[in-house]
Amino acid sequence: MKQANILFIMADDLGHWSLGCAGNQDAITPHIDRLAAEGMQLKRFYAASPVCSPARASLLTGQMPSYHGVADWIRAGNISAHGDSACQYLKGQKAYTQHLQEAGYVCGLSGKWHLGDSQTPQQGFAHWYAHQSGGGPYYGAPMIKNGELIAEPGYVTDAITKDAIQFIQTQSGCGQPFYLQVAYTAPHTPWTGKNHPQEYLDLYQDCAFDSCPQVAPHPDQIAYPMFQEDRHAMLSGYFAAITAMDAGIGRIYDALKANGLLEDTLIVFTSDNGFNCGHHGIWGKGNGTWPLNLYESSVRVPFIVRYPKLVPQNTHSAAVIGAYDWFATVLALTSITSPKPPAISRDFTDILMGKNSRDTQEAFVADEYGGTRMIIKGNLKYIKRYHDNTRLLFDLKNDPDERDNLFHQADPAIIDALDLALETWFLQHSRPEADACLAGVRGFGQVKMSGKDGYPKDAFIQNITD
């Protein structure tokens, strides 16, 4: 069978709850909704971490943060400038994109990298149009084009879209399959000010944003100044960024169709991590609170796959899947059999084909952020915070909003079984020199990679003013 092209579209800080196809009545996302109608939605797909860099590294490597060594968002080492030096945080590890390249794929990146040394194409990518860091203004965005540091004069969502379309046009008719990773910065902050086209902001002028709860602030909320602004203005910007991205996805879809590539291209839409826009009384993601949180709204992300040759249309699955599982799946989808994927990574092609529902009672997935770790077994979600040894237990079937911590009411035998499962999982899927559990991660960024003797003492920024 002819190897499919792969278009992998990744949003930035997109909550699983924030799309029309997910039932959000506020969101205007017709093109993403079309992908869902023409493919499958995985309703319980989990990022490996609730912040961008470790989550992206896990997607690429098929490993947990405590194995690949990216434990927090990358604060330093993105470019060589201002006394800093670029650092490749995944150096010595092999992403699935490198396997694709070795199998004959032409791999392209359009957008956010945020895994260090953004100036240097790596991990099998031949085409490289990358953001210099991880976020920033939508106009005048710091980008890298043809190896040069530039300030993109237009709206960065449109610039990423344009670059992706040019890549598709270049690859059309070349005879080689391609992998294109379109990594938008949307809907990451900033949302207010002159950061988004007025035409998209106007769409939400009269929106009540009923999909975003107005509740009392969470007691663990960190007081970021950017989240103290007018609620309607913030949400208008957040959703405007999503709708602008959706329009770009529509243009990429049309480019595939115009070039006769649509039916031979497997399209994935997902996000690096989730986001809370008032959910649980939080603005932010996993590092929006201290202690760091692993709420569903922070770690569960959309994952939509369109490929009518294989994936039944207008379907969904409630199978519990971890982001690290994508590694094995993409290799299976492209018939790459050697080398084998990491043991942690489970091929879910059977689910995409509608051949196996994997009953949710047999579900198992793990997640981590520094000293906060989580496992889900069936409908039970167990969270363990190593910095203070607090525990949380939620019944996701009867309490999907995670309001009632059942830890002190649960049968001790259940707790013991979950704790053993969590400890065993991370013992099997971590490396001592990269284990983030006791590394001092507080959510303010990683500035060095892990070494053979463990994380350097100053690997993590300990407060926002450092």
What string of pLDDT tens digits covers the 466 residues of the chain? 578 999 999 999 999 999 999 999 999 999 999 999 999 999 999 999 999 999 999 999 999 999 999 999 999 999 987 667 899 999 999 999 999 999 999 999 999 999 999 999 999 999 999 999 999 999 999 999 999 999 999 999 999 999 999 999 999 988 899 999 999 999 999 999 999 999 999 999 999 999 999 999 999 999 888 888 899 999 999 999 999 999 999 999 999 999 999 999 999 999 999 999 999 999 999 999 999 999 999 999 999 999 999 999 999 999 999 999 999 999 999 999 988 899 999 999 999 999 887 766 668 999 999 999 999 999 999 999 999 999 999 999 999 999 999 999 999 999 999 999 999 999 999 999 999 998 899 999 999 888 777 888 789 886 543 3
Do residues 370 and 437 touch, judged by C-beta distance below 8 A? yes
Q: What is the pTM of this model?
A: 0.97
Contact 268, 8 (CB under 8 A): yes
Query: What is the C-alpha to C-alpha distance for residues 332 and 317, in angstroms, rounded to an integer?
Result: 19
Residue 357: the pLDDT is: 74
Q: Which residues contact 410 (CB under 8 A, 6 or more apart)?
A: 393
- Taking the chain, what is the end-to-end CA distance rounded to the nearest angstrom? 54
Contact call for residues 34 and 220 (beta carbons, < 8 A) = no
Q: Extract the runs of DSSP E, i.e. beta strands, from 136-231.
A: 139-145, 148-155, 178-183
Strand-strand pairing, 390-395 and 380-385: antiparallel
Nearest to 158 by CA among 192, 185, 121: 185
Helix (H, G, I), strand (E, B) or coil at 87: coil
143: amino acid identity, one letter: M
Strand, coil or helix: 451: strand
Q: Which long-range contacts (CB under 8 A, 24 or more apart) does 30-34 make?
A: 30/246, 30/250, 31/246, 31/247, 31/249, 31/250, 31/253, 32/246, 32/249, 32/269, 32/304, 34/250, 34/253
- Match 């496992």 to its residue by tokens: 375
In 172-206, where does DSSP find H-type helix?
198-202
Per-residue pLDDT, 85 = 87
- Residue 464: per-residue pLDDT: 44
- φ and ψ at 380, to 5 degrees? -95, 130
Report the DSSP beta bridge partners of residue 316.
Answer: 41
Q: Which two tokens stand for residue 336?
A: 């790459």
Residue 428 corresponds to which tokens in the numbers above?
Answer: 């099997």
- Give the three-class secondary structure for 442: coil
- Asked if 194 contacts 200 with a C-beta cutoff of 8 angstroms, the reply is no
Record the tokens describing residue 420, joined without a space: 């053993």
Task: State how far the Cα of 106 lies from the Cα of 100, in Å rounded to an integer.
Answer: 8
DSSP 264: G
**HEC string for 285-345:** CHHHECCCCCCHHHHEECEEEECCCCCCCCEEEEEEEECCHHHHHHHHHCCCCCCCCCCCC
Phi-psi region of 27 (alpha: psi -120 to 50; beta: other; left: phi over 0): beta
Q: Show the tokens assigned to 100.
A: 């694709």
Detail the DSSP E strand segments found in 105-166: 106-111, 125-131, 139-145, 148-155
> What's the pLDDT at 18?
98
Tokens for 367? Answer: 């997640």
Distance CA 133, CA 142 (A): 8
Instruction: Tell me how far apart the alpha carbons of residues 117 and 157 are, in angstroms, rounded to a whole number.
Output: 22
Can you tell me the distance from the alpha carbon of 254 to that of 7, in angstroms, rounded to the nearest whole number? 13
The predicted structure's pLDDT at residue 466:
35
Longest dimension (CA), the chain: 62
Q: What are phi and psi of 327, to 5 degrees?
A: -55, -55
DSSP 347-366: --HHHHTTS----GGG-EEE
pLDDT score at 95: 97
d(CA 393, CA 413): 13
Helix (H, G, I), strand (E, B) or coil at 30: helix
pLDDT in the model for residue 465: 35
Selected from 3.40.720.10, 3.40.50.1820, 3.40.50.300, 3.30.43.10, the CATH number assigned to the domain covering 5-355 reads 3.40.720.10
